[in-house]
Chains A and B, each alone.
Chain A
Amino acid sequence: MTPRRKKRLYLVLIILAGIGTATGLALTAFDENLMFFYSPTEVRAGKAPTDHPFRLGGLVTEGSVERQADGLTVRFELTDTQEAVTVQYTGILPDLFREGQGIVSKGRLGADGVFVADEVLAKHDENYMPPEVADALKTAHEQGVQGTQAKTAVQ
């Protein structure tokens, strides 16, 4: 490589390293703002803002969804398997909303600890499978659970 080309190569590498470091520092500084949502554990630990709206993400706890008398208001629990927060929402829920599903809701935390949401979004996971495979997995899981229970009963 000629010295001029070498110089230009170093220049390109320096540009890349400089921009990379600057971006890295900026992203570390704004880490909190880049989080799309807070988890129930963070909310319980008091890390979520109380004075302005924020997003809360988690899984809908199985069996926690209650529809109110007006037919539009829903109360459910969001959990990250450690902590849980009760969410109240009035409006239309997305297609993928169901128990056990990942959800991101936007709203404010009330004084009573209930999160009043004005937007509920379903978070899709990265798994794609045909219905019969999902059924088979579920049956296998249930049988597995029953098997363990049976074993425990015998013992």
Chain B
Amino acid sequence: MFMRWFHELGSPPYFYRFAGRLIPWLGGLCLVLLVTGLYLGLIVAPSDYQQGESYRIIYIHVPSAWMSLFIYVVMAACGAIALIWRMKLAEVVAISSAPVGASFTFLALVTGSLWGKPMWGTWWVWDARLTSELLLLFLYLGVIALYSAIEDKRQAARAASILAIVGVVNIPLIHYSVEWWNTLHQGPTVTKFDAPSIDVRMLVPLLIMALAFKLFYIVNMLMRARCELLSRERNSRWVAELAEADHG
């Protein structure tokens, strides 16, 4: 039953319709969470004992950084599925994830830099955490560039998938960089085995924002995947029927 549904989901017309129905619901939920998270984080949560109000940038910075890693893993996993099973939909999901992941990486780097100037006293340092996160941005950009450089989209997806899989070694490096080496960037607050070292009134908005960002990624990726499917399958019957139904 589940496997049948999974196979159905792999067919482009079915996925196109399914994603189309899903987007408004997830988008609405994302908007609600985003507004709630921002309100709780920027207005309700107390200020920090050392950083005062400046710490509130974590409500953008931390979810972005988490998403930059999460999306890369999704992209690489879809890339592996695309390489092994030659599944078209996996190629489309992998390649539709790349721009969203690149944007979140960029956002994490910029917000971190803005916070770093007043708090650390510098915009940028070449410590292990910051450098590996910058490398992640270049990996995303590399995947996007490689995919758009090759004319045949199925071959392009295969090449981009290999790059994505090779780059996946960077993910544990980013996460553990603050533990393996001395870095200027602080250690993990929430994603560790101990209890989070953050007050619960500050933690709740952070988790809400993380969920909102995750939904934003899913919605944005589904939209991109639908466009990518239409453009790839523009000569197929289901797209022609869709266009006709639209005009008729």
Same assembly: yes
Report which A residues bind B (CB closer than 8 A).
5, 8-9, 11-12, 15-16, 19-20, 23, 27, 31, 34-39, 57, 92-97, 104, 119-135
Pairwise interchain contact A94-B120, C-beta atoms closer than 8 A: yes
Pairwise interchain contact B182-A57, C-beta atoms closer than 8 A: yes
Pairwise interchain contact A19-B84, C-beta atoms closer than 8 A: no
Report B193 CB to chain A, min CB distance, Å.
13
Enumerate 17 A-B pairs (CB-CB under 8 Å) in ascending A order: A8-B83, A11-B83, A19-B169, A27-B173, A35-B181, A94-B119, A94-B120, A96-B50, A96-B119, A122-B121, A124-B50, A125-B186, A128-B58, A128-B198, A128-B202, A129-B202, A130-B47
Q: Which B-chain residue is minimally distant from A10 (CB atoms)?
A: B84
Given A94-B118, A129-B49, verify A16-B168 contact (CB < 8 Å).
Answer: yes
Known: A119-B121, A130-B46. 15 other contacts (CB 8 A): A15-B165, A16-B169, A19-B166, A36-B127, A37-B184, A39-B182, A104-B184, A125-B187, A126-B197, A127-B198, A129-B198, A129-B199, A129-B202, A130-B48, A130-B202
* Cα of A20 to Cα of B198 in the assembled complex, Å: 33
* Cα of A5 to Cα of B87 in the assembled complex, Å: 11
Given A12-B83, A95-B118, verify A35-B182 contact (CB < 8 Å).
Answer: yes
Q: B11 at the A/B interface (Cβ < 8 Å)? A: no
Given A8-B83, A23-B173, A34-B128, verify A122-B119 contact (CB < 8 Å).
Answer: yes
For B51-83 the 0/1 string (1 means CB < 8 A from A) is 100010010000000000000000000001001
Contacts of A130 in B (CB 8 A): 46-49, 199, 201-202
Contacts of A120 in B (CB 8 A): 121
Report A7 CB to chain B, min CB distance, Å.
9
Report B191 CB to chain A, min CB distance, Å.
10
* Cα of A128 to Cα of B200 in the assembled complex, Å: 10
Pairwise interchain contact A15-B166, C-beta atoms closer than 8 A: yes
* Cα of A76 to Cα of B74 in the assembled complex, Å: 48
* Cα of A23 to Cα of B176 in the assembled complex, Å: 14
Report A139 CB to chain B, min CB distance, Å.
13
Contact of A126 among B47, B49, B189 (CB under 8 A): B189
Pairwise interchain contact B199-A121, C-beta atoms closer than 8 A: no
Pairwise interchain contact B122-A121, C-beta atoms closer than 8 A: yes
* Cα of A28 to Cα of B185 in the assembled complex, Å: 21
Pairwise interchain contact A94-B202, C-beta atoms closer than 8 A: no
Pairwise interchain contact B165-A16, C-beta atoms closer than 8 A: yes
Main secondary structure of the interface of B (DSSP, over half): loop
Pairwise interchain contact B120-A121, C-beta atoms closer than 8 A: yes
By size class, the interface of chain B is 35 or more
For B117-154 the 0/1 string (1 means CB < 8 A from A) is 01111100101100000000000000000000000000
Contacts of B220 in A (CB 8 A): none
Among B82-133, those with CB < 8 Å from A are 83-85, 118-122, 125, 127-128
Contacts of A94 in B (CB 8 A): 118-121
Contacts of B168 in A (CB 8 A): 16
Contact of B197 among A16, A36, A123, A127 (CB under 8 A): A127
Report B170 CB to chain A, min CB distance, Å.
8
Pairwise interchain contact B51-A124, C-beta atoms closer than 8 A: yes
* Cα of A93 to Cα of B50 in the assembled complex, Å: 15
Contacts of A119 in B (CB 8 A): 121-122
* Cα of A77 to Cα of B84 in the assembled complex, Å: 58
8 pairs of A and B residues whose beta carbons are closest in the complex: A94-B121, A130-B46, A134-B49, A128-B198, A36-B127, A126-B189, A131-B49, A8-B84
* Cα of A16 to Cα of B168 in the assembled complex, Å: 8
Pairwise interchain contact B165-A128, C-beta atoms closer than 8 A: no
Report B87 CB to chain A, min CB distance, Å.
11
